[in-house]
């Protein structure tokens, strides 16, 4: 089972969009996928058409409930673990000490029916993000095609490297270009910068800028349901293939 934390401390780079559409794309290849909403804003939960879902991951992390009690089948091959209305309280949880960082890993322990678990992470480095990094074996960082998206990326990776060293838990890292406008010189320069500094880690397929990708979550649909022949569907289907084949940009 591959557990992938989709994380970037910068907002607006397509974390939730990536989890939403990659989970469905992987399921369309015949795999079984669990999408976990680790963000108290619950955008992934809403994007899958379950806005206002009152319970989910919050009950697991606050009260030790079993994961199976709150997973929802949302598409063929895709289960969703909603955030739950009280997930933000996890950041203030005091009991448990250092073990607070292992709550999600403990919940996933022994779960074997999924091929992939995709974690939609909050834009923070607190307890919820720590849970994602400890539970995951891989890290996927969406990076939009502008220089502001590069700002802080090196710092974030340095923090993660210190985290890995302290816990002796190394993550395989992928970078995914999102909101990419290939005709823009700036976007090409950002891509070149990523390839230069992170060789062998940038997934081969950039996700092109698409109005449909921004619109589809408001209808509770993935891009494959909303505009199945558009750029967004083509790109996320190809990116799913990149992850399966470890295909990176040259």
Over the chain (250 residues), what is each successive 10-residue block's mean pLDDT? Answer: 92 89 98 97 95 92 93 97 94 73 92 96 86 95 81 81 86 93 84 91 95 95 96 97 95
Alpha-carbon Rg of the chain, whole angstroms? Answer: 17
What span, in angstroms and rounded, lies between the C-alpha atoms of 209 and 227? 14
Phi, psi of 119 (to 5 degrees): -105, 115
> What's the pLDDT score for residue 205?
96
> What's the pLDDT score for residue 182?
76
> What's the pLDDT score for residue 104?
95
**Could you tell me which of 8, 29, 2, 1 has the C-alpha nearest to residue 176?**
8
> What's the pLDDT score for residue 125?
66
The position carrying tokens 């994602």 is 132
Encoded tokens for 175: 């970078």
Q: Taking the model in full, what pTM does it have?
A: 0.94
The position carrying tokens 């950039």 is 206
What residue ranges define each of the domains in the chain, with the CATH number in brackets? 2-245 (3.40.50.300)
> What's the pLDDT score for residue 92?
82
Q: Using an 8 Å Cβ cutoff, are 134 and 20 in contact?
A: no
């Amino acid at each position: 089972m591959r557990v992938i934390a989709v994380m970037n401390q910068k907002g607006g780079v397509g974390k939730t969009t990536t989890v939403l559409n990659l989970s469905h794309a992987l399921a369309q290849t015949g795999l079984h996928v669990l999408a976990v909403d680790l963000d108290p804003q619950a955008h992934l939960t809403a994007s899958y058409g379950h806005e206002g879902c009152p319970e989910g991951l919050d009950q697991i992390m606050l009260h030790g409930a079993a994961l199976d009690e709150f997973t929802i089948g949302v598409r063929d091959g895709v289960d969703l673990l909603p955030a739950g209305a009280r997930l933000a309280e996890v950041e203030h949880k005091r009991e448990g000490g250092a073990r607070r960082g292992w709550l999600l890993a403990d919940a996933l322990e022994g779960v074997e029916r999924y091929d992939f678990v995709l974690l939609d992470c909050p834009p923070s480095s607190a307890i919820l993000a720590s849970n994602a990094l400890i539970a995951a074996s891989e890290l996927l960082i969406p990076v939009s095609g502008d220089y502001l998206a590069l700002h802080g990326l090196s710092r974030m990776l340095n923090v993660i490297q210190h985290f890995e060293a302290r816990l002796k838990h190394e993550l395989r890292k992928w970078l995914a270009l999102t909101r990419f406008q290939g005709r823009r010189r700036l976007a090409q320069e950002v891509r070149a910068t990523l390839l230069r500094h992170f060789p062998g880690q940038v997934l081969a397929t950039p996700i092109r800028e698409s109005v449909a990708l921004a619109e589809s979550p408001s209808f509770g649909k993935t891009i494959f349901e909303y505009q199945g022949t558009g750029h967004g569907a083509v790109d996320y289907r190809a990116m799913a293939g990149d992850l399966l084949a470890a295909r990176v940009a040259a």
